[in-house]
Amino acid sequence: MSPGLSYVVVKSHALMADLLNPEQMRALAEQESLEGFIEYLAGTPYGRISVDTEGDASLALEKVFYQKFIERMMAIVDLAPAKIGDFLQSYYYLRFEVINLKRIIRGKYSGIPVSQIVESLIPITPYRVKNYEDLVEAETFQDSVRQLEGTPFASLVASLDLSEKYDALWPVEIALSHLNTGSIFKSLERLPQRDRGLVRRIVQAEADVENFLIAVKQRGARDRAHSPKEMFPATYGITLEMLREAISADDIRSVIQGLNPPYNEILVPLYEGDVALIRSRIRQHIYDIARKGRTVNDFGFNVVMAYLVFSEIEKDDLVGIAWGKTQGIPAEDILKYLAIPESV
Amino acid sequence: MSATTGVRPTKGYLMEMKRRIGFIERGTEFLKLKRDHLAKELTTSIDVLKGRRSKLLEDLRIAYRAVTAAYISLGPTEVKSQASSIKSRLELEVLPRSVMGVRYPYIKVEKEPQITGELDITLSEAAEKVLGILDDILQLAEFEARAERIADELGKTNRKVNALENTIIPSYRQVIKFIEDKLDEESLEELVRMKLIGGALARRRE
């Protein structure tokens, strides 16, 4: 039985102390080497991490950071009241499962070895599918998708026609993203009305920016551009009309300037063609939403959600730093794309 | 050992030697022409390489920054997963080409990867930047191989010309001079002998 919301809130407050602060994150990015990074991390709540020196250390570290985040998330889910626990499980597990399904389908589509596909999966137990092994072992990517019939991902099978029509994988990937967003909104119903706003703002911001970036990508294609209705099955703050304009307009600046805040600020790096910077800006924006959510209600669900949002952004930043350190990338080039050091 | 050791001082051998030196001198002239042409080609190639290399290094820096940003932003596993979804891979064919008989590789792009549909825009931008300089990278590699082989051949040709001009031709000239001297000496001896015989015959008739 759950000890109740108050306990999870107090626990979340306490666990926030385990999160890395912007100074620590900056110090990690400024370490001279991967060894220095691991050594510094040993002095944080992450403790000493042993990484196999053979193979790609950044991939091993990525797995460690994912594992740590999943542990943190599960610790909260186990303590949370049933409705909040269900929602959080659905929110995170479904998201990770969608990422895993995308990786399986991509792997099957290009015919890479099964072991490589398995290696790329996020280490979670299957959430809405029976197991990943059957999907990975399927003959073709269409077979993998068809195996999803009878699961909440059954609607993906319909996207195969479009995939065949364009001889591409994006219809399946878009259908998966759409299904993920739709499921999150549906699972929001489990939360009390007052707690829904924070999650809705986060999910909408993510989906809007993703939609806009897809539209920008279609600009180069112009005549070959796919139908906006097919590309954007769901739109939120950035409407389908705005996305159409983004595809067809000669000057993307005027389209971005015409968007409402915060999008007209988040998407500014597009002027210089630095798309990766938009992702760190959207992460900063989500970090900000969670922080503001806490100021509105520091004794309820918002605290729990903020803890998990901060924790996930920390994981993403650490994955980026770890890769940068294995490649010997200068600290300033890494810091530019991190969310936490810039969020203060 | 002297160049004249074992030389037969005959008119036939002299004619053969003269024929050979004429042939060698013509060959040397051709080699000199080849050397000059290769030197010209090498100078042009080096000038082109200098210009292209610095431009390519700048373009590579930009492309590498985009790839770095994609990795930091998406994470290495996601980048690898997305990259693996590119079905149409880069296909190249290496064909031989030749300048003044110097063979060098020519790289022909048979098929370029189609990156438009499948990649996230961050990765797609990085991939487009790399793909945009792919032709330049291949051309530079081709030029570098070409310059390297021309320089190699220029060195060889130069050594051949030097050997011909400083060793082979002088030794042939020495042989020819030796035979001509010998033949002159023999014909002088012959003349003296004829004179003596002529004198002896005249005295007998008297």
| A33 and A89 co-located in one domain | no
State whether A273 and B117 contact (CB < 8 Å). no
B104–chain A nearest CA distance, Å? 34
| A220 and A316 co-located in one domain | no
B61 in reach of chain A (CB within 8 A): no
| A97 and A126 co-located in one domain | yes
DSSP string, A254-300: HHHHTSPTTHHHHTGGGGGT-HHHHHHHHHHHHHHHHHHHHHH-TTS
Chain B residues in contact with A168 by the CB 8 A cut-off are 117-118
State whether B68 and A333 contact (CB < 8 Å). yes
| A208 and A152 co-located in one domain | no
What's the token pair of residue B131? 């793909």
Domains and CATH numbers, chain B: 11-205 (1.10.287.3240)
- Nearest by CB: A273 against B68, B74, B125: B125
Chain A residues in contact with B82 by the CB 8 A cut-off are 106
B69 in reach of chain A (CB within 8 A): yes
Residue of A144, A323, A338 best to disrupt the B interface, most CBs of B under 10 A:
A323
Q: Would A139 be classed as within a structural domain? A: yes
State whether B73 and A110 contact (CB < 8 Å). no
Q: What is the ipTM of this complex?
A: 0.88
Q: Would A306 be classed as within a structural domain? A: yes
Q: How confident is the model at residue A247 (pLDDT cuts 50, 70, 90)?
A: confident
Boundary of a domain, candidates A160, A191, A222: A191
Q: Which one is predicted more confidently, A141 or A2?
A: A141
Boundary of a domain, candidates A191, A206, A228: A191
Q: Which one is predicted more confidently, A307 or A183?
A: A307
| A234 and A184 co-located in one domain | no
Helices assigned H by DSSP within B75-168: 76-84, 121-132, 134-163
State whether A280 and B85 contact (CB < 8 Å). no
pLDDT digits (tens, 9 = 90+) for A173-223: 888 988 888 888 888 888 888 888 888 899 899 989 988 988 888 776 655
* Cβ atoms of residues A179 and A76 within 8 Å: no
Chain B residues in contact with A107 by the CB 8 A cut-off are 81, 84-85
Q: Would A264 be classed as within a structural domain? A: yes
Q: Which one is predicted more confidently, A333 or A1?
A: A333
Q: Would A87 be classed as within a structural domain? A: yes
pLDDT in tens, chain B (206 residues): 576 777 888 999 999 999 999 999 999 999 999 999 999 999 988 888 888 888 899 999 999 999 999 999 999 999 998 888 787 778 889 999 888 888 988 888 888 887 766 678 888 888 888 888 988 888 888 889 999 999 999 999 999 999 999 999 999 999 999 999 999 999 999 999 999 999 999 999 88
| A91 and A186 co-located in one domain | yes
| A92 and A167 co-located in one domain | yes
B66 in reach of chain A (CB within 8 A): yes
Q: Would A62 be classed as within a structural domain? A: no
- Nearest by CB: A279 against B68, B77, B122: B122
| A201 and A176 co-located in one domain | no
Q: A151 is in which domain, residue-wise?
A: 81-191
What's the token pair of residue B201? 């015959």
Q: Would A161 be classed as within a structural domain? A: yes
What's the token pair of residue A73? 């998330």
A102 in reach of chain B (CB within 8 A): yes
CA distances from A51 to A112, A315, B153 (A): 25, 17, 51
| A88 and A175 co-located in one domain | yes
Boundary of a domain, candidates A191, A210, A238: A191
Q: Residue A178: which CATH number?
A: 1.20.1690
**A44-54 average pLDDT score:** 82
Residue of B65, B72, B115, B120 best to disrupt the A interface, most CBs of A under 10 A:
B72
| A175 and A207 co-located in one domain | no
State whether A276 and B77 contact (CB < 8 Å). no
Q: Would A284 be classed as within a structural domain? A: no
What's the token pair of residue B203? 């005295």
Using DSSP's 3-state secondary structure scheme, residue B108 falls into strand
- Nearest by CB: A110 against B76, B78, B86: B86
Q: Would A254 be classed as within a structural domain? A: yes
Question: How many C-alpha atoms does A229 have within 13 Å on its Cβ side?
Answer: 0
| A137 and A218 co-located in one domain | no
Domain count within chain A: 3
